[in-house]
Amino acid sequence: MTASLEVRRLAYAYPDGTQALFGVDFEIARGERVALLGPNGAGKTTLVMHLNGILTPGHGTVTVAGLPVGKDSLKEIRRRVGLVFQDPDDQLFMPTVREDVAFGPANLGIRGEELRRRVEEALDRVGMLDVVDRPPHHLSFGQRRRVAVATVLAMEPEILVLDEPSSNLDPASRRELAEILRGLDVTVLMVTHDLPYAMELCERALILSGGVIAADGPTREILADAELLAAHRLELPYGFALPRAEHSS
């Protein structure tokens, strides 16, 4: 089966010469939920910006469900890769929630009943259907983040890519978003510093550090490796206990 996302030998230097990625290799199978962990400056945002062609690789390739990211494929790639920015206010700019969620699909030429179905289904999946006619700026931060997720779900993406989805959420909103994300039947790549969130939502985790993949494995095993975490400046919250392993060896 074709992977949802395939990243091969991806290297990138910014115009000022800062080398941010040094040959990143991984793939994500359809339906997987993967956490992307790593210290500040590791290259996480740089990597994410390659997934939908905001940045163009110096070397290497990114392929989304068999389609290579490139100049000629950008429109389809941006439909397939649903990027949810860290700040929902970078994603919501229309007078109503409905118009914000309709914006992407309408750009693809979808109209009428199909557009309405897309919008309402996407909002329903994040529990925000009841605010469809309200202005986004009247919603709470947590609600705006859920609407931001709906704007990309309405594109029926191959993969949902979230940058720090739990940041700035109060505990109840954080838990509600976790329940929503866990219930989605879509491939997910989630950048996070919130290790318990990674544990809760993602069966697999990658550590990106110094522009390379330093670890790739079951989230539980990665979080149980204190030396590995310390080497990459990752810390579990005080008192956090990992769930017990399903298979003890």
Return residues touching ligand ADP (CB under 6 A): 14, 16, 18, 20, 38, 40-46
> Measured from the CB atom, is 45 or 173 closer to Mg ion?
45
> Measured from the CB atom, is 53 or 105 closer to Mg ion?
53
Query: 67 - beta bridge partners?
Result: 64
Look up residue 208 and give its two tokens. Answer: 């990106």
Look up residue 199 and give its two tokens. Answer: 């544990």
Q: 206 and 36 in contact (C-beta within 8 Å)?
A: yes
Q: Could you say which of Mg ion, ligand ADP, none residue 218 binds, taking C-beta under 5 to 8 angstroms by partner kind?
A: none
Per CB under 5 A, does 167 bind Mg ion?
A: no
Question: Cα dihedral angle (1, 9, 188, 206), rounded to 10 degrees?
Answer: 120
> Measured from the CB atom, is 44 or 174 closer to Mg ion?
44
Q: Could you say which of ligand ADP, Mg ion, none residue 86 binds, taking C-beta under 5 to 8 angstroms by partner kind?
A: none
Report how far residue 226's alpha carbon sits from residue 229's, in angstroms, rounded to the nearest whole number.
Answer: 5
> Measured from the CB atom, is 49 or 129 closer to Mg ion?
49
Query: Chain centroid to CA 5: how far?
Result: 12
In whole angstroms, the minimum distance from the beta carbon of 240 to ligand ADP comes to 22
Build a one-symbol-per-residue string for 41-60: x at contacts with Mg ion by CB under 5 A, - elsewhere. Answer: ---xx---------------
For strand 81-84 and strand 159-163, is the pairing parallel, antiparallel, or unpaired? parallel
Q: 31 and 187 in contact (C-beta within 8 Å)?
A: yes
Query: Chain centroid to CA 210: how far?
Result: 20
CA neighbor of 208 nearest in space, from 85, 46, 82, 18: 46
> Measured from the CB atom, is 122 or 195 closer to ligand ADP?
195
In whole angstroms, the minimum distance from the beta carbon of 237 to ligand ADP comes to 20
> Measured from the CB atom, is 44 or 220 closer to Mg ion?
44
CA neighbor of 11 nearest in space, from 45, 52, 48, 56: 56
Region near Mg ion per CB under 5 A, out of 36-44, 64-72, 87-95, 179-187: 36-44
In whole angstroms, the minimum distance from the beta carbon of 228 to ligand ADP comes to 17
In whole angstroms, the minimum distance from the beta carbon of 212 to Mg ion comes to 16
> Measured from the CB atom, is 12 or 63 closer to ligand ADP?
12
Report how far residue 92's alpha carbon sits from residue 99's, in angstroms, rounded to the nearest whole number.
Answer: 9
Report how far residue 134's alpha carbon sits from residue 203's, in angstroms, rounded to the nearest whole number.
Answer: 36
In whole angstroms, the minimum distance from the beta carbon of 22 to ligand ADP comes to 11
Beta strands in 80-203 (DSSP E): 81-84, 159-163, 187-191
Q: Could you say which of ligand ADP, Mg ion, none residue 41 binds, taking C-beta under 5 to 8 angstroms by partner kind?
A: ligand ADP
Q: Could you say which of Mg ion, ligand ADP, none residue 14 binds, taking C-beta under 5 to 8 angstroms by partner kind?
A: ligand ADP
Which residues of the chain form contacts with Mg ion (CB under 5 A)? 44-45
